[in-house]
Amino acid sequence: MTNTKLKKNQTKTNELETTTRRYYNNRKQKTLGQMTQDHDSAPDFQHKSPFFLIKCILLTVVDVKLDPTSAHSSLVISDNGKKVRNGGKTAKDPNSPQRFDIFGSVLGLNRLKSGKSYWEVEVSNKTGWDLGVARCDAYRKGKFLVTPDKGYWVTAHNGDKKYAARTIPPVNLSFKVKPRKVGVYVDYEEGLVSFYDVMSQSHIYSFTECSFGGEILPYFCLHLKPDEKNSDPLIISAMEKQ
């Protein structure tokens, strides 16, 4: 990402965080998913801003479910398609063209090709994860960088205190408190993918001017490591579209 684009994103983020901080100061006890009764009183952000329109967020909720046919052979997906964990090697066919064979990744079933979409993922106390979106035809085999030029728009957590947006070069992110639930917002027409810390009600990062070039899918990666701290599953939160 060029220095000019980085400065542009930072300027937008600073302006938006100042505006939203005033709004959130009166709602410190609420999470995004609980703002059902008074979302019409939210600040009227400009349509093209990287920060989502709070008063419309519950209208864009997508019932994301995981696609077992794309999951790495070590992953186990719950019957309702909302939870994924590392279960060790299974009898799944690792040679399937749809299945990730190196990364502990899985895609969502939801094909996004227009409009606005939002979902939340519980990352709990995991020490490693990737979340975001990927093009339907993006690489799934071998080792590669999950970056926009490869069809991935992703933020990641790697190690207790390491967070980054998967750009070239990566953009390091910092938090006062470790995120435990992450919101992902996509505005397809605007070419926007934004990430939020749901519990602190704050903006994490936005990919802007994205060239999706076709349908995209929700993307999840558990980071397959022999680490007890990273044994927690990723869970797609239950949310109702208003």
Q: Is the pLDDT of residue 143 over 80?
A: yes
Q: Is the pLDDT of residue 4 over 80?
A: no
- The answer to which of 144-148, 150-154, 237-241 has the lowest mean pLDDT is 237-241
- DSSP states of 173-229 as a string? E--SS--SEEEEEEETTTTEEEEEETTTTEEEEEE-S----S-EEEEEE----S-GG
Higher pLDDT pick, 179 / 52: 179
pTM: 0.78
- DSSP states of 76-119 as a string? EE-TTS-EEEE----SS-TT-TTS-SSS-EEEBSPPB-SSEEEE
Q: What pLDDT, in 10s, does the model give residues 84-124?
A: 999 876 656 767 889 998 889 999 999 999 999 999 999 98
Q: Is the pLDDT of residue 9 over 80?
A: no
pLDDT grade, residue 5 (50/70/90)? low
Q: What pLDDT, in 10s, does the model give residues 193-225?
A: 999 998 888 889 999 999 999 999 999 999 887
Report the distance separating Cα 33 and Cα 199, nearest Å: 10
Q: Is the pLDDT of residue 21 over 90?
A: no
For the chain, domains (ranges, CATH) are 3-65+111-236 (2.60.120.920)
For residue 200, what pLDDT is reported?
85
Task: Tell me the pLDDT of the chain averaged across its residues.
Answer: 79
Side-chain-facing half-sphere of 164: CA atoms under 13 Å = 14
Higher pLDDT pick, 2 / 68: 68
Q: Is the pLDDT of residue 130 over 90?
A: yes
